[in-house]
């Protein structure tokens, strides 16, 4: 659906907040979501972070935190995947107050890309200037070991859809935004510097987003590798595009959780993703605590 359409019914989501009769424009709905959040906090929020599968524990270490379940925020969908708690946590990482999305929404859950990226619109209206996107990803390269990190330098949108499709609202950004530098070079360098300082295994590479929910076939992995990707996943790209549409600075960090199909002959299971997320919890949290003050 486009931003200018009126919703006549709630057929796409179980959450009645997502689509309500007589809803107005996308911008106005984002304002409504931001207003609700502002009833809980007046803090300046220079940075927000989206925590991917198995990586939500970082939000639990924020100090002085308030938690807002997604189903209390107008326009937010419902997170249905294990490892995505479904709440917005606002608290301090060191001296910096940030907003942390403890879980995200996915295209494969049945949500439109407008719904998937709606929280990014709200974060922008809250004053967020820098967005850190994290995810769990499968690697196409045997040199990328499970538990290591990859800083995203660029992406391939292979979802078969685009989050800016439909009517454009100039209050958010231009009709034809430039995506030459989606992931800010300065932010990439900061993440790599701090990872190196902690002795973490980190590389820089290209993330390919496919729709899921099935893991990719060996033939699909061969195709994606031929296109130049280093890792594959089912998120991040729509959020990055929408953030850049609104002139936010974007950093992307992939936690390598498994070898992709065909790279290994072992079956892939979501429990493996969760286990790796738990294994890297300490080092991942330490990295973010060092990165956030520098990017803020």
User: Among all residues, which ones are annotated catalytic?
Assistant: 53, 84, 106, 108-109, 136, 234-235, 258, 270
Structural contact between residues 137 and 229, judged by C-beta atoms closer than 8 angstroms: no
3-state SS assignment for residue 234: coil
* Number of CB atoms found within 10 A of residue 247's CB: 12
d(CA 30, CA 36): 10
Cis bond upstream, residue 213 (ω within 30): yes
Rounded to whole angstroms, the Cα distance separating 182 from 48 reads 16
Between CA 282 and CA 24 the distance in angstroms is: 43
Is 60 in contact with 103 (CB distance < 8 Å)? no
Tokens of 179: 């995506």
The Cα–Cα gap between 250 and 125 comes to 16
| Residue 83 DSSP code | T
List C-alpha distances in Å: 156 to 204, 207, 218, 232. Answer: 15, 6, 18, 9
- Look at the chain and count its residues: 296
Bridge partners, residue 127, by sequence? none
Q: Enter the DSSP assignment of 6.
A: P
């Amino acid at each position: 659906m486009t931003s200018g359409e009126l919703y006549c019914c709630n057929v796409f989501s179980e959450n009645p907040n997502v689509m309500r009769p007589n809803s107005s424009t996308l911008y106005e709905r984002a304002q409504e979501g931001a207003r609700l959040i502002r009833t809980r906090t007046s803090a300046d929020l220079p940075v927000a972070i989206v925590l991917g599968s198995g990586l939500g524990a970082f939000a639990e270490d924020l100090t002085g935190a308030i938690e807002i379940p997604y189903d209390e925020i107008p326009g937010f969908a419902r997170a249905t995947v294990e490892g995505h708690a479904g709440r917005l946590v606002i608290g301090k990482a060191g001296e910096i107050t940030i907003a942390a999305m403890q879980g995200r929404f996915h295209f494969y859950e049945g949500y439109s890309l407008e719904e998937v990226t709606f929280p990014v619109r709200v974060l922008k209206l809250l004053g967020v200037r820098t967005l850190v996107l994290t995810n769990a990803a499968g690697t196409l390269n045997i040199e990328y070991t499970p538990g290591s990190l990859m800083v995203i330098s660029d992406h391939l949108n292979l979802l078969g859809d685009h989050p800016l499709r439909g009517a454009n609202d100039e209050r958010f950004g231009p009709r034809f935004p430039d995506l030459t530098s989606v992931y800010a070079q300065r932010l990439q360098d900061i993440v790599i510097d701090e990872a190196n300082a902690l002795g973490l295994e980190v590389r820089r590479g290209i993330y390919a987003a496919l729709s899921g929910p099935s893991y990719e076939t060996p033939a699909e992995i061969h195709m994606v590798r031929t296109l130049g990707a280093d890792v594959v996943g089912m998120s991040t790209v729509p959020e990055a595009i929408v953030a850049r549409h609104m002139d936010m600075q974007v950093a992307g960090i992939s936690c390598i959780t498994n070898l992709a199909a065909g790279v290994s002959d072992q079956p892939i299971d979501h429990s493996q993703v969760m286990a790796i997320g738990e294994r890297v919890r300490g080092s991942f949290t330490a990295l973010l605590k060092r990165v956030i003050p520098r990017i803020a």
